[in-house]
Amino acid sequence: MEFFQSLIQKQHSIAWFWVLLLVCVLNGKTTISASNYLVGLGSYDITGPAADVNMMGYANSDQTASGIHFRLRARAFIVAEPQGNRVVFVNLDACMASQLITIKVLERLKARYGDLYTEKNVAISGIHTHAGPGGYLQYVVYIVTSLGFVRQSFDVIVDGIEQSIIRAHENLHPGSVFVNKGEILDAGVNRSPSAYLNNPATERAKYKYDVDKEMTLLKFVDDQWGPVGAFNWFATHGTSMSRTNELISGDNKGTAARLMEDWFNNQKRVSENENPRRVSNIVQVSQTNHHELLELASSFQSTSGQPTTKYLSISRRVRSALRSADRPIFVSAFCQSNCGDVSPNVLGAFCTDTGLPCDFNHSTCGGKNELCYGRGPGYPDEFESTRIIGERQFKKAADLFNSAAEKLTGKIDFRHSYLDFSQLEVKKGGNESVKTCPAAMGFAFAAGTTDGPGAFDFKQGDNTGNPFWKLVRNLLKTPSQEQKDCQQPKPILLDTGEMKVPYDWAPSILPVQILKIGQMVILSVPGEFTTMAGRRLRDAVSAVFKGKVHVVIAGLTNTYSQYITTFEEYEMQRYEGASTLYGPNTLSAYIQEFTKLATAIVTGKTVEAGPPPPDLLSKQIGLLPPVVVDSTPLGVKFGDVSTDVPRNSTFKKGDTLTVVFWSACPRNDLMTEGTFALVELLQGQDTWVPVYDDDDICLRFKWSRPSKLSAQSHATIEWRIPQSTVPGVYRVSHFGASKSLFGSISHFSGSSSAFVVK
């Protein structure tokens, strides 16, 4: 009896064993198919020429680069199924993506990886900073103020994107992706509220605000290394830095990225019982007499300029990849969304002459647009406004990062198509249809916005035009009656879509793309959607996917075609409507085509590739003069100190100190992945440790020459000493490269006298 009971129990146990094993296997299969992604992130320097080149964004010919606020980067993520699809998203600290850059990056990726990365699954997006070097787009209207094509601007971005993707590819490891959302209430306001109010009241009633306040964040976690990065999408313009700023800057989104990457790295070092980058035991000031520090500092006088190698500034860079090769670096990107009518100048727009609010409908002051400017939260200090708006985005991103719990699961998919937006048929229901138009800019385009007003007598809300400027327009290209009718009620200032000399002035072929990672859907749009336009597009795509999906708009992606408003906003012809190139039906066309892409993903069908955009590289004209030669006064070397810190000087946290060096044109060497400026802290008696460089917001590198044609120049380095600075002995160093009359490039460096920070 006991034998049979034992046998029964044994058989029962075996049965349960197989049941449990089957459950585990089924669960395992579910987990593998749903969440076993490969995750990789990468980042690379794309800081362009910090001298002479016009900045992209404000179209202000007087705004040329003259130094660096902090460096620009390309940041990439790759998410892949181990044996299936993969997607790449690259976020650029640049005004926008460029069709020509996208074409050349894809050519390089094909040469390196075959068909692994193509236009179908690679998205390249810009943060819309207006403080980066221009001249890298291929269409004439976008490179007029930069004196045409600037090869150096173009090359550094193409190189940086490629390198960021290579690094992300090489960092691919099993991992997970989490999504989280939250609101930021104080980082954007609507700069065209009169146009927004023209949208139907019933539609506006569905929303609490006239701009989108939601940030959507992806957190990337490597199975081996833990968190390795975060990308988020939030709508606010990159116009905290004004149209008169001449320092290269990632504006508020670049600031947020720098703050978050440094925050994570310092948190990691603390958790691993390492010293954070700027909290060091290098000099124990609490145990050291201030007089002794001064005596130590006095033994280090400024050095005369010294010849050096190209790689010294790279090895001395604070965040040098050479010092973090043992593990993937943490990459954080603050991506752009439907920012078309969203300004970071949250205090509102005021007249510079009276201090009163600008006219509501036209953003003018006494009928003139030139006096109406938006004010950021740090007004009148644009650098402080940039920091504040960046910090607000960073703090929300850090909160979302820490609390992210919803894991992305499911398949990776994508769809991409090229479309001719100059004549795209849009179905309106039944047999009725309308068309888009060849590109054209309205009169209100020239009025600019409250973030950067235009000139002359243009104003927003102009739906008639001016006879004088129409005469000027006709000298370039007289629009046909058909074009005028198509673009109504926009009065055409520049008929860019039909201007072909010396080559295309504006794009006709545009890419549309969807990337899907589980329940995350990214809409790659080649322009700036306004708030309500973006809401309509997101709603239309969400309706196709039906289930719970997170839909984000990635603005200014893959190419650039200016603005997209709603039909009702277009009627108002403010700046955004005047800059909606393809006429009043542009948004309807986008909704139609993105709905097709989403439907194809849901049904598993393919879409037509469409007509490819032109490659106009061979036609580009660049009129920016090259660097001819650099020189210094007789008896002075490159890198010599021109203006030193005071002898035996002591500075406090919060002070600003300035050192001026004899220098050379920064266009000779962009110092990619290096630095032009460095603050070093003395370790022991004779070792200098880098603590701040020109990728730090507190350290500004300014370059100037006494006159436009002078071969002599200065590098001014300003250090605003942070409250977190470790007391001790410091010095400021400068790296540069000079060009001889025979064209050879020689690198140099120099250092200031040492000083004490207490």
Active site residues: 343
Q: What Cα–Cα distance (Å) separates residue 443 from each residue in 10, 469, 497?
A: 87, 9, 15
> Which residues contact residue 158 at a Cβ distance below 8 angstroms, ignoring those fewer than 6 apart?
101, 104, 105, 108
Residue 560 annotated as part of some ligand binding site: no
Nearest to 212 by CA among 238, 246, 236: 236
Residue 128 annotated as part of some ligand binding site: yes
CB atoms within 10 A of CB 618: 6
What values do phi and psi take at 360, rounded to 5?
-65, -45
Q: What Cα–Cα distance (Å) separates residue 270 from each residue in 273, 285, 433, 505?
A: 5, 21, 62, 53
User: What type of residue sits at position 389?
Assistant: I
Residue 692 annotated as part of some ligand binding site: no
CB atoms within 10 A of CB 542: 16
CB atoms within 10 A of CB 203: 13
Gap between the Cα atoms of 302 and 482, Å rounded: 69
Structure tokens at 402: 């820490």
Which residues face 220 on adjacent strands?
A: 177, 229
- Is there a contact between 407 and 35 (Cβ–Cβ < 8 Å)? yes
Q: With residue 158 as reference, give the H or E element that holds it.
A: helix 151-170
Mark 229-249 as b/e (b = at least 16 C-beta within 10 Å).
Answer: bbbbbbbbbbbbbbbebbbbb
- Is there a contact between 276 and 269 (Cβ–Cβ < 8 Å)? yes
Please report where in the chains the tokens 């090259």 appear, as a residue. 626
Q: What Cα–Cα distance (Å) separates residue 748 from each residue in 41, 202, 360, 705, 714?
A: 34, 65, 54, 18, 14
On the 0-12 / 13-18 / 19+ scale of CB atoms within 10 A, 576 is buried
Gap between the Cα atoms of 596 and 608, Å rounded: 10
- Is there a contact between 576 and 340 (Cβ–Cβ < 8 Å)? yes
Gap between the Cα atoms of 88 and 77, Å rounded: 6
CA atoms in the 13 A half-sphere facing the CB of 673: 17
Structure tokens at 61: 């010919």
Residue 747 annotated as part of some ligand binding site: no
What values do phi and psi take at 448, rounded to 5?
70, -160
Gap between the Cα atoms of 495 and 507, Å rounded: 12
Gap between the Cα atoms of 287 and 134, Å rounded: 51
Q: Is the dihedral of CA 150, 151, 154, 156 positive or negative?
A: negative
Residues that constitute the known binding site:
128, 237, 528, 563
Residues that constitute the known binding site for Zn(2+):
128, 237, 528, 563
